[in-house]
């Protein structure tokens, strides 16, 4: 097993390079609910956070897999849409001004002699942190790719598996394939952006939220989306960039001109590069010390939320929130050795944001009664 890379303490000229890095107290890998709530608990302890996520938006599984589904087991919220819970978490942590590196995957980690870490993404962005919180959930989401000849040649040349920036499709002809929520929702959304949207699905039935299916029906009637079912894309064309696709519908082939093909056939989670960081892994999850602080076998690297495992582990949002809270106390002790922390209730102490804002309960009026 390869241990987390240990590199010498940076020399002074190397220190100047570090200045160009993103500096933070806690580097959180994963902007799912666990990673987001970590920012709040860390903020109460005056610790600054920066979050990396491979996806273009925060929210993890909630945003990517079920934004419109209600969740019924968040304490104090009898039912809340997954997307709304993410928005609320973002609002709750705003005061603590977290930094975000989105659409980038944490690839390598180096531990410096002073016990701090440098995490580098697949795009070369470097982050220097005093502690690492891996909140990577089930891992990075890899798109399920359709088996179409030469599809890899067209990746980033007309074939996109995620809609990272809708503006890429402004005034372009696009073909989306798939029958789930993502295919429905992006077809509807991009109808206002692209010059032409065609949705292709191999069945006549769609597996999505009822309001999305109804909206697509309406968009089809209005001519805002071309719907072709049951049909499958069977080949791609274009010399340097995609310019057309061929579909098979009821045994007949038809070629359609298009600038982009977006197959949305679901995502498979993969632990990815984190699995090579020298962490103890069990059943595709990171083993942690749950009796204390959710630290891994490498001091200073913690794993919280769906990504960790310990006896009795439950992969639930509320468990991730609890783990994040205890972990932050441990990071505080690591960064401020010997300094006593006294637990304060937010109702009593209020919340002081890093942006100068303060939330506090209304002060009691001191007035004598005649
Ligand atoms: C359909 C469905 C319904 C659910 N319903 C409920 C429910 O009702 N109640 C409940 O409590 N739970 C529910 N869950 C489970 C819940 O969604 C998870 O427990 C929760 O999302 C875990 O949060 P997390 O922050 O730990 O991880 P995630 O939400 O998985 O977020 C992890 C993030 O880390 C990122 N990431 C991973 N590796 C890297 C890397 N190397 N670099 C950069 N980014 C990385 C991923 O892109 C992802 O965004 C449901 C799950 C599903 C799929």
Mean pLDDT of 250-260: 96
Residue 1 has pLDDT above 80, yes or no: no
| H-helix or E-strand spanning residue 212 | helix 210-221
Closest CA to ligand 1's atom 8? 71
- Binned at pLDDT 50, 70 and 90, residue 346 comes out as very high
Residue 153: what pLDDT? 97
pLDDT score recorded for residue 50? 98
CB 324 within 8 A of CB 41: yes
Return the pLDDT at 298.
Answer: 97
- Are 200 and 175 in contact by the 8 Å Cβ rule? The answer is yes
Q: What percent of the chain has a predicted confidence (pLDDT) above 70? A: 95
Helix (H) or strand (E) holding 62: helix 61-64
- 139 has a pLDDT exceeding 80: yes
- Tell whether the model's pLDDT for residue 65 goes beyond 80: yes
What is the whole-number distance in angstroms between the Cα of residue 12 and the centre of ligand 1?
40
Count the helices and strands in the chain (H runs, E runs).
Answer: 9, 24
Residue nearest to atom 19 of ligand 1 (CA): 316
Ligand 1: which of 29, 30, 143 to mutate, judged by most atoms within 8 Å of the beta carbon?
A: 30
Q: Say whether pLDDT at 3 is over 90.
A: no
pLDDT for res 244:
98
What tens digit of pLDDT does each residue of 148-182 get? 999 999 999 999 998 878 899 999 999 999 999 88
Going by their DSSP bridges, the two strands 231-237 and 106-112 should be labelled as unpaired
Q: How confident is the model at residue 267 (pLDDT cuts 50, 70, 90)?
A: confident
**Long-range contact pairs involving 291-299 (C-beta distance under 8 Å, separation at least 24):** 292/330, 293/326, 293/327, 293/329, 293/330, 294/323, 294/326, 294/327, 294/330, 295/327, 295/330, 296/134, 298/3, 298/4, 298/111, 299/115, 299/334
Nearest CA to ligand 1 atom 21: 61
Does residue 12 surpass a pLDDT of 60? Answer: no
List, in sequence order, every beta strand (DSSP E) within 271-357. Answer: 281-282, 285-287, 301-303, 308-309, 351-352
DSSP 215: H
Task: Determine the pLDDT at residue 208.
Answer: 83
Two tokens at 348? Answer: 């009593």
pLDDT on residue 43: 97
Report the predicted TM-score, pTM, of the whole model to 2 decimal places. 0.80
Tens-place pLDDT, residues 290-334: 999 999 999 999 999 999 999 999 999 999 999 999 999 999 999
- Is 137 near ligand 1, meaning CB less than 6 Å away? yes
The average confidence (pLDDT) of the chain is 92
30 lines ligand 1 (CB under 6 A): yes
Question: Looking at residues 44-65, what average pLDDT do you find?
Answer: 94
Q: Is the pLDDT of residue 197 over 70?
A: yes
Dihedral of the alpha carbons of 178, 184, 187, 190, in degrees to the nearest 10? -130
For ligand 1, say whether the CB of 32 is within 6 Å of any of its atoms. Answer: yes
Span 110-118, average pLDDT:
96
Q: Does 258 contact ligand 1 (Cβ within 6 A)?
A: no
**Res 147 pLDDT > 50:** yes
């Amino acid at each position: 097993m390869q241990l987390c890379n240990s590199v010498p303490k940076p020399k002074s000229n190397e220190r100047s390079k570090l200045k160009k890095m993103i500096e933070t107290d806690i580097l959180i890998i994963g902007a799912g609910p666990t990673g987001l709530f970590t920012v709040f608990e860390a903020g109460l302890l005056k610790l600054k956070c920066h979050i990396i996520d491979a996806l273009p938006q925060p929210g993890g599984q909630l945003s990517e897999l079920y934004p419109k589904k209600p969740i019924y087991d968040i304490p104090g919220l009898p039912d809340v849409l997954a997307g709304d819970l993410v928005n609320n978490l973002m609002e709750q942590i705003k005061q603590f001004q977290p930094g975000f590196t989105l659409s980038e995957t944490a690839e390598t980690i180096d531990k410096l002699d002073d016990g701090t870490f440098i995490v580098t993404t697949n795009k070369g962005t470097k982050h220097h942190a005093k502690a690492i919180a891996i909140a990577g959930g089930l891992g990075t989401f890899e798109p399920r790719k359709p088996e179409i000849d030469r599809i890899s040649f067209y990746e980033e040349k007309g074939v996109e598996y995620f809609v990272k920036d809708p503006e890429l499709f402004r005034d372009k002809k696009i073909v989306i394939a798939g029958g789930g929520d993502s295919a429905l929702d992006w077809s509807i959304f991009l109808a206002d952006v692209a010059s032409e949207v065609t949705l292709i699905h191999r069945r006549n039935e769609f597996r999505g939220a009822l309001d999305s299916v109804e909206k697509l029906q309406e968009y089809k009637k209005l001519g805002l989306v071309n719907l072709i079912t049951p049909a499958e894309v069977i080949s791609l064309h274009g010399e340097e960039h995609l310019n057309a696709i061929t579909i098979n519908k009821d045994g007949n082939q038809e070629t359609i001109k298009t600038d982009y093909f977006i197959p949305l056939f679901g995502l498979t989670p993969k632990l990815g590069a984190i699995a090579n960081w020298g962490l103890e892994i069990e059943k595709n999850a990171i083993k942690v010390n749950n009796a204390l602080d959710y630290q891994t076998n490498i001091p200073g690297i913690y794993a919280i939320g769906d990504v960790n495992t310990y006896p009795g582990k439950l992969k639930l949002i509320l468990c991730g929130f609890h783990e994040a809270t205890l972990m932050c106390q441990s990071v505080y002790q690591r960064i401020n050795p010997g300094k006593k922390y006294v637990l304060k209730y937010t109702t009593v102490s209020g919340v002081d944001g890093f942006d100068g804002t303060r939330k506090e309960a209304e002060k009691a009026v001191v007035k004598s009664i005649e």
